[in-house]
Amino acid sequence: MNQTPILHVEGINKRFGAVQALKDVDLSLQSSEIHGLLGGNGAGKTTLMNVVYGLYKPDSGQIFLRGRPVTINSPRDAIAHGIGMVHQHFLQINTYTVTENIVLGTPIPHRPTMDLTQARDKIRALSDRFGLEIDPEAHIEDLPMGARQRVEILKALYRGVDILILDEPTTNLTPQEVDSLFESLKLMVAEGMSVVFITHKLREVMSVCDTISVLREGRRLLTAPRSELSEEEIVRTMVGSEEALEDSMLFSEQRRDEEAGIVREEIVLDVSDMRIADENGVLVDDLSLSVRAGEILGIAGVAGNGQQELAEGILGIRPLSRGRVRIGDRDVTGLGTRQILHLGVAYVPEDRLQDGFLPTASVAQNLILGAQRRTPYSSARGVLNRRAITETAVALIQRFHIRTQGPEDMAATLSGGNIQRMMLARAFAHPVRLLILHNPTSGLDIPSVEFVYDLLLSHKREGTATLLISDDLDELMLLSDRIATLYRGRIVGVLERSAFDKYTIGRMMSGVEAHD
């Protein structure tokens, strides 16, 4: 700890409009360490690292590299100084190969012929060295999320960085991919690199980081070696509340059944023999399930095994090749999405940027998306009631703690977690019989996750049927009455709550049927 830190920032301040995003932040990164930057949404983690990466200009403060003051005005400067950053959402050219994406923006030795043999060899060597498995010839569009992220990391390594910043790198990864990412990070620091790991997931920092810093509301409140910190101490700092954490659902292994209420007889959602196919092949096949009033049916599975297609099939967003969907006593097969939503169905899609929000519209407009023809937002003749829309928006912004300057604010200014809150607010704004939620807590901080779980359980008590699709097994096991596991578009098995077991579900997720 006594050596000069490889990266040191001092007194960083940054203000966006009325929001002081960073308040006088100091932070030191030692060489050969994985430094976990932990904090809730809007804590300033990403903003701080964007300052280091030259994307934002700090209002005041100084960055030191290996003890020397530097000015970083752009990502290009940052890379020249050996700093690379992998963002939560990456910009890649889908139709280019991995190699082409990586060399883009670097000097190419054989520009007229685009002979990329050298580059390819270098990428192969890097990928072997750090266990970042990738086919340099593959096209980006054919790769799963985990591989695309490896491309992004290789992009930075290819440019010779020795400080790598990862912003929420595990958000889109499966458990296996997370493990292999962590192995690669350990190999990198073993070779002398330094890694800053931005996350809000406590378990991840505890498993991989050497040093942990906690940010809250733009201030750095804590930095210490992992060995000196307890989980509870970290959570307390992150949340900043003095209330007893023992009450928190996140730390309980079991859902408290008196809160959960009972599953009723009435079947709310009934899917029979669903098959969805498009030009990419069969995405959902031979799928039947039903959800009763007051029941939470969990859907487990590695991402991309038909979860989104199942949800979209139920909602009429995708046409069914076969099968029927009933909601209550109504056959909704072939009905338009709007009619289905108006039956009291709410949907929170997985991909919030693509499927969940209107970037150039206001927060208020976003909040009524899907309900724009309902009273009181619209009269019977289709004239909008601006006042009702604004009033609802103000109420939802407060109830769901959406961090925004107000209902007229452009949605594009919201952070990922706040977009998620906005989608949840939209789903819970109206009485609902059937909830279809896909990774509803992705990108949320601990108190917000807690809030969503409470909401789910209180709706369950009141008789709402919930189809909960999640990549987070802990979440599913905590909340569900039954868990069905999807593999390649089919249900491999359904477990009752009493039979929940992480390893059994894990096996089903890789396609092995349960034997009991």
Partner 1 sequence: MTEAIVLKRKRGPAAILQALVPYLLAVIAAFAAVGVLLALLGFDVLRAYSTILFTSFRTTNGFIQTLIKWTPLVLQALAFTIPLAAGKFNIGGEGQLIVGGIGAAAVGILLAGLPLPILLPSVLLAGTLFGALWVLGPAWLLYRFGINEILTTVLMNFVAFELIDFTATKIWPDPAAGHPTTVPIGEGGYLPLLLSHPPLHSGLLIAVLVAILVYFYTDHTSAGYELVATGANPRASSVYGVNVRRMFLLSLLLGGAIAGLSGAIEVAGVHHRLIEGMQSNFLLLGIIIGLIAKGNNLAVPFVALFIAILEVGASALQRTMMIPGEMVFIVEALILIFVLLSDVVRRR
Q: Count Cα neighbours of 493 within 13 Å in the Cβ-side half-sphere.
A: 19
Among 172, 439, 448, 504, binds partner 1 (CB under 8 A): 448
Is 240 a residue that touches partner 1 (CB under 8 A)?
yes
Task: Specify whether the CB–CB gap between 199 and 43 falls below 8 A.
Answer: no
For residue 236, state whether it binds partner 1 (rule: CB under 8 A): no
Q: Is 317 in the site for partner 1 (CB under 8 A)?
A: yes
| Interface pick for partner 1 out of 164, 235, 310, 341 (rule CB under 8 A) | 341
Candidates 123, 205, 397, 469; binder of partner 1 (CB under 8 A) is 397
Cis omega (within 30 of 0) for bond into 5: no
Strand order in the sheet with 345-348: 345-348, 434-438, 465-469, 296-300, 482-487, 490-496
CB 12 within 8 A of CB 25: yes
Stretch that binds partner 1, among 103-111, 124-132, 352-360, 493-501 (CB under 8 A): 352-360
Give the range of 132-140, 190-198, 377-385, 505-513 binding partner 1 by CB under 8 A.
Answer: 377-385
Q: Interface with partner 1 by CB under 8 A: which range of 76-84, 140-148, 297-305, 330-338?
A: 330-338
Task: Answer positive or negative: Cα dihedral of 50, 56, 61, 62.
Answer: positive
Give me the least distance between CB of 338 and partner 1, in Å please.
3
The answer to the question of residue 347 lying near partner 1 (CB under 8 A) is: yes
Q: Which of 319, 398, 496, 510 binds partner 1 (CB under 8 A)?
A: 398
Kindly state whether residue 40 participates in binding partner 1, applying the rule CB under 8 A. yes
Binding residue for partner 1 (CB under 8 A) from 309, 445, 471, 475?
445
Q: Which of 184, 92, 107, 185 is nearest to 144 (CA)?
A: 92
- Which helix H or strand E contains 514, and what residues bound it? none
Point out which span in 24-32, 242-250, 289-297, 357-365 binds partner 1 (CB under 8 A): 357-365
What distance lies between CA 202 and its chain's CA centroid? 15
* Per-residue binding letters, 274-313, with partner 1 (x by CB under 8 A): --------------------------------------x-
Identify the CA nearest to 316 among candidates 327, 301, 305: 327
CA torsion sign for 178, 46, 188, 27 is negative
Nearer Cβ to partner 1 (175/431): 431
Shortest Å distance, C-beta 15 to partner 1:
14
Lookup: tokens for 248: 């928190």
Is the distance from CB of 94 to CB of 140 less than 8 angstroms?
Answer: yes
- Residue with tokens 């991309």, as numbered in its chain: 304
Taking residues 120 to 139 in sequence order and writing x for each that binds partner 1 by CB under 8 A, - otherwise, the string is --------------------
Which of 124, 373, 461, 488 touches partner 1 (CB under 8 A)?
Answer: 373
Contact residue for partner 1 among 53, 130, 158, 357 (CB under 8 A): 357
Report how far apart, in Å, the C-alpha atoms of 169 and of each of 22, 117, 195, 439 are.
22, 29, 12, 16
Full DSSP string of 341-356? HHTTEEEE-S-IIIII
The one among 264, 330, 386, 502 contacting partner 1 by CB under 8 A: 386
CA dist 487 → 301, 304, 437, 507, 511 (Å)? 6, 9, 19, 10, 6
> Of 154-162, 179-187, 253-261, 335-343, which part binds partner 1 (CB under 8 A)?
335-343
SS3 of 428-467: the string is: HCCCCCEEEEECCCCCCCHHHHHHHHHHHHHHHHCCCEEE
Question: Which is nearer to partner 1, 240 or 304 (by Cβ)?
Answer: 240
Least distance to partner 1, CB of residue 47, Å: 15
Instruction: Select from 361, 455, 494, 499 the one that contacts partner 1 (CB under 8 A).
Output: 361
Residue 408 in contact with partner 1, rule: CB under 8 A = yes
> Which of 178, 384, 512, 514 forms a contact with partner 1 (CB under 8 A)?
384
- The single residue listed with the structure tokens 């962590």 is 182
Contact with partner 1 (CB under 8 A) among 263, 296, 402, 452: 402
Residue from 10, 183, 217, 233 binding partner 1 (CB under 8 A)? 217
Q: What is the size of the binding site for partner 1 (CB under 8 A)?
A: 50
Rg of the Cα trace of the chain? 24
Among 186, 236, 326, 401, binds partner 1 (CB under 8 A): 401
CB 64 within 8 A of CB 144: no
Residue whose CB is less far from partner 1, 381 or 515: 381
Beta 345-348 vs 434-438: how paired, if at all?
parallel
Q: Which stretch binds partner 1 (CB under 8 A): 222-230, 404-412, 463-471, 487-495?
A: 404-412
Read off the amino acid at residue 23. K
Closest CA to 234 of 211, 218, 257: 211
Query: Which one of residues 21, 315, 432, 457 is an interface residue with partner 1 (CB under 8 A)?
Result: 315
H helix or E strand, kind and range, residue 255: none
Identify the residue among 36, 84, 136, 447 touching partner 1 (CB under 8 A): 447
Output the 3-class SS for 205-257: HHHHCCEEEEEECCEEEEEEEHHHCCHHHHHHHHHCCCCCHHHCHHHCCCCCH
* Binding region for partner 1 (CB under 8 A): 18, 40, 217, 240, 312, 315, 317, 336-341, 347, 349, 354-361, 365, 368-370, 372-373, 377-378, 382-384, 386, 390, 394, 397-398, 401-408, 445, 447-448
